Structure 1
Amino acid sequence: MSDSKRTAGYHWSLLRQGDFAPSKDELPTRLANVEVTAGPLRFALGPAQEARLLLPLSKSEKVGKLPVSTSLRIKETHAVIDGSTSRLLDIMCTVKELESVFTEVVDEILSRIQEGTSVPSALRSTLHDFRALLFLTPTKTIPTEIVLGLVGELFVLNELLDRSPEAWRAWMGPQGGRHDFRAGSLALEVKSTRSASNTLVTIQSVDQLSVPSGGQLYLTRLTLEPTPGGVLNVANLYNRAALRCSEPEKLKEILLGLDCSDPSADEWNHLSFSFEGEEVFEVGGSFPRLTEDNFVGSKSPQGVLDISYKIDLSHASDCIITSDKKETIQNELIACLSPE
Structure 2
Amino acid sequence: MTAVVETSSAIFAFLGTQVSAARRLIVRTSDVLTEFGPLAHAIDGSGNPSLLIPVAGHQTCVEDWQNRAVTFGQRTIKSQAGPQEFLVLQCREPRLLGPFCLLVDDILEAASECPQEAPALARDTLERWKELLRDTKPPLLSDAQLVGLLGELTFLDELTFHNGADALRYWLGPRRARHDFVFASASVEVKATVSRESFTVTIHGSKQLEAPPGGTLFIRGYQFESSPVGTSVPQLLYRLVENGLSRYELFELVEKMGYSEADAGHYAERRYTLICERTSLVDESFPRLTQETVASQILDQITGLQYSVDLASQRNDSLDIAALVVELVP
- Does residue 279 of structure 1 match 2:278? yes
| Matched length | 193
Q: Runs of at least 4 residues of structure 1 off by over 4 A?
A: none
CA shift in 2, pair 1:185/1:227, >3 Å: same
Structure 2 counterpart SS, 1:337: coil
Distance (Å, rounded) in 2 between the aligned partners of 1:265 and 1:237: 11
For residues 145-224 of structure 1, the aligned pairs below 5 Å read 145-164=144-163, 165-224=165-224
Partner of 1:333: 324
**Letter of the structure 2 residue corresponding to residue 254 of structure 1:** L
Q: CA deviation at 1:267?
A: 3.5
Q: Which moved more, 1:246-255 or 1:284-293?
A: 246-255
Q: CA deviation at 1:268?
A: 3.0
Distance (Å, rounded) in 2 between the aligned partners of 1:302 and 1:217: 23
Q: Tell me the TM-score normalized by structure 1.
A: 0.52
Q: CA deviation at 1:338?
A: 7.6
**Which digits, 9 at most, give the CA deviation of each residue in 1:104-138, with x for residues without a partner?**
xxxxxxxxxxxxxxxxxxxxxxxxxxxxxxxxxxx
Q: Which moved more, 1:160-169 or 1:170-179?
A: 170-179
Unmatched 5+ residue regions in structure 1? 1-69, 71-138
Distance (Å, rounded) in 2 between the aligned partners of 1:289 and 1:264: 36
Q: CA deviation at 1:152?
A: 1.0
Structure 1 counterpart SS, 2:205: coil
**Which digits, 9 at most, give the CA deviation of each residue in 1:306-333, with x for residues without a partner?**
31111222431xx212xxx42x2x1222
Distance (Å, rounded) in 1 between the aligned partners of 2:211 and 2:329: 22
Contact 1:235 1:263 in 2 (8 A): no
For residues 1-340 of structure 1, the aligned pairs below 5 Å read 141-164=140-163, 165-230=165-230, 232-262=231-261, 265-296=264-295, 298=296, 300-316=298-314, 319-321=315-317, 325-326=318-319, 328=320, 330-337=321-328
**Letter of the structure 1 residue corresponding to residue 272 of structure 2:** F
Distance (Å, rounded) in 2 between the aligned partners of 1:243 and 1:212: 32
Contact 2:180 2:188 in 1 (8 A): yes
Q: Tell me the TM-score normalized by structure 2.
A: 0.54
Distance (Å, rounded) in 2 between the aligned partners of 1:182 and 1:196: 29
For the pair shown, the structure with the greater C-alpha radius of gyration is: 1
Q: CA RMSD in A?
A: 2.4
Distance (Å, rounded) in 1 between the aligned partners of 2:222 and 2:149: 12
Unmatched 5+ residue regions in structure 2? 1-66, 68-137
**Letter of the structure 2 residue corresponding to residue 146 of structure 1:** Q
CA shift in 2, pair 1:278/1:209, >3 Å: same
**Which digits, 9 at most, give the CA deviation of each residue in 1:28-75, with x for residues without a partner?**
xxxxxxxxxxxxxxxxxxxxxxxxxxxxxxxxxxxxxxxxxx9xxxxx
Q: CA deviation at 1:224?
A: 1.1
Structure 2 counterpart SS, 1:221: strand
Distance (Å, rounded) in 2 between the aligned partners of 1:141 and 1:260: 7
Distance (Å, rounded) in 1 between the aligned partners of 2:156 and 2:247: 13
Structure 2 counterpart SS, 1:229: strand
Partner of 2:121: none
Structure 1 counterpart SS, 2:152: helix
Distance (Å, rounded) in 2 between the aligned partners of 1:288 and 1:237: 32
Q: Which has the higher strand share?
A: 2
Partner of 1:119: none
Contact 1:288 1:315 in 2 (8 A): no
**Letter of the structure 2 residue corresponding to residue 224 of structure 1:** F
